[in-house]
Amino acid sequence: MPHRARRYLIAIAALAAAVLFRWLLDPVIGDSLPMVTVFGAVAAAVWVGGAVPAAVVAILGYLACYYLFMTPRYAFVFDLPNMVGLAAYLFTSSLIIAIGEAMRRAQARARERSDLLRITLASIGDAVITTDNAGHVTYLNAVAESLTGWKQEDAKGQPLDTVFRVLDEQTRKPIESPATRALREGTVVSLANHTLLLGRDGGERPVDDSAAPIREEGGRMSGCVLIFRDVSERRGLEKAVAARFLEARLLASIVESSDDAIVRKSLDSVIQSWNAGAERVFGYTAEEAVGRHISIIIPPERLAEEDHIIATLKQGRRVEPFETERVRKDGRRIHVSVTISPIKDEAGNVVAASKIARDVTKQRQAEAEREMFATLIENSTDFIAIADLDAVPIFVNRAGLKLVGLDDMDAARKVHVRDFFFPEDQARILDEFFPSVAAKGHGEVDVRFRNFKTGDARWMAYKVLKLSDDKGQVLGFATVSQDITERRRLEDGLRQLAANLSEEGRRKNEFLATLAHELRNPLAALSNMLEILRRTGPRQPAPPPQAVDGMGRQLSQLVRLVDDLLDLSRITHNRLELRKGPVALGAVIDQAVESARPLVESMRHELRVVPSPEPIALEGDSARLAQVFGNLLNNSAKYTSPGGKIEVKTERHGKEAVVTVKDNGAGIPPHRLDSIFEMFNQVQGSLERSQGGLGIGLTLVRRLVQMHGGSVQAESAGEGKGSEFVVRLPIHEPRPAASPAPAPARQPSAGRRILVVDDNHDSAESLAMLLNITGNQTFTAHDGADALDAAAKQRPDVVLLDIGLPTLNGYEVCRRIREEPWGKEMVLIALTGWGQDEDRRRSHEAGFDGHLVKPVNYPALIALLDSLGVAK
Ligand code: ADP
C-alpha cells in the first residue's frame, strides 16, 4: 500500500476509533463534550500522517460528532453558539495539528541527522570509537573494527582500554589512551606521536589518535569519541622522504668535500654550481665562476672539445672519462680527467650537465717519472731485481733476465732466489748474507750467479737492499748488481802476470848470472890458449895442436852461446822463422851429430847412431832441425858423466818420424819433465851444476819442433837414471820429381880484390889477413866515408861492409856505391852483428848481395862468394 494511502487509512481508523469511543462514552457524558475524543484522533493523525490527514480527521470528526452527539442530534444547526464552538474547535484542532506537525518534523530531522552521522562514521577513513561516560564502548565504526580486530557486537559495553590497547613505539610500554584523558579532563586530546595499536589478534600498527568529549546540548558530557588512523603507510612515506633527504644531504656534503671539481653547467655552457674542489682545482671561487661561461677554464685550442661535449649531452649521452688539459685562473695548465653526464628533468629532458674533473697533473708527472725510471732500469746493464718476502722474484730487468738465462718474468716468478746461486754458495748467501741484510738493511758480497740455461757462472758484485714501507714493514728485497766477471778475470790475469813477472825476473837474473858464467868459461880457455900462441916463436916450439883445436871448440861454444842469445830474442818476440824445403832426416841427424861430436868426444862418451832402415823425408828447415837434434845431443853429452852412453835412433811410425835421443846420464826428476821446456828452466837451477847452457835450448827445441808440426817429450826414470827425448815429426812424402838439372859448373875463381870495412880495427885487419893468407888482395877502411873513397879508388870485386860505421852507416855506403856506375856490379856483403831476419831484409833493400853475421864463418864466406860468382 502506498505510504500516503496508509497515512490516510491510519487517520480514518483513528477517527473511527474516536467516534466509537465517544459513542461508548455517550451514556456517561450525554450531550456534553461531543468532540472530546476527536482531538486525540487529530493528534494521532498528525503524528502518523502529517497535517493534511489530521485536517481531514478534524473536519470529518467534527461533522461526525456534530451530527451524532450534538444536540440536536442527527441534524446540523448553524447558529452562533455552534459557530463559536466550531471556531474554538478549529482553533484547538489547528493548534494540535501545528504542534504535532512541528514535533513530527523535529523527529524526522533528528532521525535524518542521526542517519547522516551514522553514514559518515561508517564511511570515513578514520577509525571511530565512542564511549559512554564510564569509558565503556558504545560504538565502533568499520575501520575501527578492522584496526582493533573487535566486532561492534563484541566490543559494545567493553572498557575502552580492552578494545583500544596502545603502546609507546619506543619503550613498548602500555600507554593511556587519549580517550581516557578526554573523559577525565573533559578536553580534546590529540596524541599523534609514536603510538602502536595492539590488535585483538596481537598485530601491531602505528596509529595517530585523538579524542574529544561528547557533550549534550546542555553541555553535559555523555561520553567521548576516539578517532584514530593507521599511519603505517605514512610512516613508510616519511621514512622514504627522510632517507631521500639524508641522501641529498650526503650527496651535497660529498660534492662539497670532494677533491674533484664538480661543476654543473647549463646546456649553453654557463656554470651553475661550483664546489670547493672546483675552487681548488681551477683557482676560481664559486662566486667568480657561477654564471660565467665554462670556457674560462678551457684552453683556447681546446674550445672545440666543448662543442662536442654539448652535442653528446644533448643526445642524453654521458661523455666517457677522457684526459685533457684545462687552464687555471692563474694561467697554469693542468692535466685533468673529466667525466660529464647529462642532468635530466622528470620528463627525461636534458636540462644541464654535471662535470667532474680530477686534477691528474701529479699522477701524470709521477707516471712520467715512473716511466723514466722504468726505462732507466730496463735499459740498465746492471742486474736489477726485486724479490718478495718468500724470496720469489717479482721483478727482474732485461739485463738481469738475460744474464741468468730466463726468458721472461713468468719464468722468473717460477724460481726461488736460491736457484740463482750455485749449490756450494747457497748456504753462505742464504744463511749468512741474507740475515745480515735483514738486520742491517743492506749488504754486498761477491758471488757467482748461475745461468739457468747454460749453467755458466758470472761473478757479480751482489748488492742487496731491504725494501720497507713508511711504517717500517718489510716488503721485500731489491738488488742492483754488476757483472764483475771481466774485472775479476783481469784481476786474476794481473795477479798471474805479476807472479809471472816476478818469476820471469827471477829467472832472468839467474839467466844473466848463468850467461856471465857461461861466457867466462870459453873466454878463460881462449885467453889461456892465446897466451900459449904468444909464446910460440922461432925459438919456441910450435903451439900444440890441442891448443888450436881447443881454441876452435871454445870459439864455437862462444858462437853457439851468442846464437842461442839471438834465438832467445827471436822466441820472445815470436820472430822465429823457418826456411822450409825438402829435408832428408838422415842428413839432418848426421849434421847434428857432427856439431855435437867435439863435446861428445871430449867427454869420452860412446855415441851410437841408429838410422831408420829407409830414408825419411821431411818438409822443413834443415838447419833448424839440425839445431834441434844438436841441442838434444849436446844436452845428453853435458848432463852425462864422462864415459857415458848416448844413442840417437830414428824410426818410422806410420806417418811420423820418431827420433829418440837417449843417455844414461843425470836423469830428470819426474816433476820437472815438463818444466824443463820452459825458458831459463834448468833442473838444478844453480850455477854450480850448470853445464854450459843458458836454459833456452829445450825451449828452442820445442818451439822449432812445433813449428814443424811435431812434438817433443822428455822421459826419465828419475835422477841419475838417464834421460830420453822423443821427437815426433810428420813425414813428408816427396812427389816424384824429374831429376834436377845439374848445377852449372862454377868457373875456377882467380884471386879477389876485397875491401874490408869495419870500425873495429882488429876485426878488419884480422879478416884482411885471413883473406890475404888465402890468396886474395885486400884493402881496409874504418868508417863510411873512407870506405866510399877506397871503393872508388880501388874498385874491388867485393866489399865486406860493416853496418854500424862512423860518418856514414853501411846501408848508406852501400846505397852510394850502387849509385856509381862502377858500383852496380860490385859484390857488396853486409858483415854485421845483427842477424835478425829484419836486418837481413833491410840490408837486401839497401842493395847488399849478401848478409853475414859476425864472427864470420870463413867457409860460409867463401861459399857465399862462390855462390855470387865472385872469382877467386
Ligand atoms: P841448458 O842451457 O841448461 O842446457 P836446456 O833448455 O837445454 O838448457 O835444458 C834445460 C835443463 O834441462 C838443463 O839445465 C838440464 O837441467 C835439463 N836437461 C836437459 N837435457 C838433459 C839431459 N839429457 N839429461 C839430464 N838433464 C837434462
Tell me: pLDDT of 837 over 90: no
Long-range contacts of 406-414 (CB under 8 A, 24+ apart): 406/452, 411/452, 412/385
Q: Which residue has the cell 888450436?
A: 548
Contact criterion met (CB below 8 Å) for 216 and 222: yes
Contact criterion met (CB below 8 Å) for 433 and 443: yes
Helix (H, G, I), strand (E, B) or coil at 798: strand
Q: Give the model's pLDDT for residue 748.
A: 32
- Angstrom CA distances, 823 to 329, 507, 800, 814, stand at 102, 49, 14, 9
Residue 864 Cβ contacting ligand 1 at under 6 Å: no
Give the separation between CA 226 and CA 176, rounded to whole angstroms. Answer: 13
Give the separation between CA 690 and CA 510, rounded to whole angstroms. Answer: 11
Contact criterion met (CB below 8 Å) for 43 and 96: yes
**Average pLDDT of the segment spanning 149-175:** 90
Question: Which residue puts its alpha carbon closest to atom 18 of ligand 1?
Answer: 635
Atom of ligand 1 nearest to the CA of 666: 25
Q: Give the model's pLDDT for residue 478.
A: 93
Question: Which residue puts its alpha carbon closest to atom 7 of ligand 1?
Answer: 697
Q: Give the model's pLDDT for residue 870.
A: 61
Residue 600: name the closest of 642, 556, 558 by CA.
Answer: 642
Tell me: pLDDT of 542 over 70: no
Least confident of 5-19, 40-54, 536-550, 648-662: 536-550
**Average pLDDT of the segment spanning 639-654:** 94
Give the separation between CA 32 and CA 767, rounded to whole angstroms. Answer: 224
Count of other CB atoms within 10 angstroms of residue 42: 32
Q: Give the model's pLDDT for residue 683.
A: 61
User: Which amino acid makes up residue 790?
Assistant: A
How buried is residue 781: exposed, middle or buried, by Cβ count under 10 Å (0-12/13-18/19+)? buried
Q: Which residue has the cell 557533550?
A: 215
Higher pLDDT, 124 or 445: 445
Question: Which residue puts its alpha carbon closest to atom 13 of ligand 1?
Answer: 682
Contact criterion met (CB below 8 Å) for 354 and 263: yes
Residue 712 Cβ contacting ligand 1 at under 6 Å: no
Tell me: pLDDT of 167 over 60: yes
**Average pLDDT of the segment spanning 807-812:** 89
Give Cα 432 to chain centroid, integer Å: 27
Residue 205: name the closest of 197, 215, 213 by CA.
Answer: 197
Give the separation between CA 50 and CA 147, rounded to whole angstroms. Answer: 45
Residue spans of alpha helices (H) in 535-575:
545-572
pLDDT band at 400 (very low <50, low <70, confident <90, very high): very high
Tell me the pLDDT tens digit for each residue of 573-625.
Answer: 777 778 888 999 999 999 899 888 888 988 899 999 999 998 999 999 888 89
Residue spans of alpha helices (H) in 795-857:
810-819, 837-846
Question: Which of 676, 691, 724 should be mutated for ligand 1, with most atoms under 8 A from CB?
Answer: 676
Tell me: pLDDT of 745 over 50: no
Residue 723 Cβ contacting ligand 1 at under 6 Å: yes
Question: Which of 515, 682, 691, 715 should be mutated for ligand 1, with most atoms under 8 A from CB?
Answer: 682
Atom of ligand 1 nearest to the CA of 677: 6
DSSP structure string for 375-419: HHHHH-SSEEEEEETTS-EEEE-HHHHHHHT--SHHHHHTS-GGG
The bridge status of strand 127-132 relative to strand 165-168 is unpaired
The answer to pTM > 0.85 is no
How buried is residue 207: exposed, middle or buried, by Cβ count under 10 Å (0-12/13-18/19+)? buried
Give the separation between CA 680 and CA 508, rounded to whole angstroms. Answer: 7
Question: Which residue puts its alpha carbon closest to atom 20 of ligand 1?
Answer: 635
Give the separation between CA 210 and CA 225, rounded to whole angstroms. Answer: 9
Question: Which residue puts its alpha carbon closest to atom 2 of ligand 1?
Answer: 693
Cell numbers describing residue 494: 794481473
How buried is residue 47: exposed, middle or buried, by Cβ count under 10 Å (0-12/13-18/19+)? middle
Residue 561: name the closest of 684, 697, 678 by CA.
Answer: 697
Tell me the pLDDT tens digit for each residue of 502-541.
Answer: 888 887 787 787 777 778 777 877 877 787 777 776 666 6
Query: Taking the chain, what is the end-to-end CA distance rounded to the nearest angstrom?
Result: 198
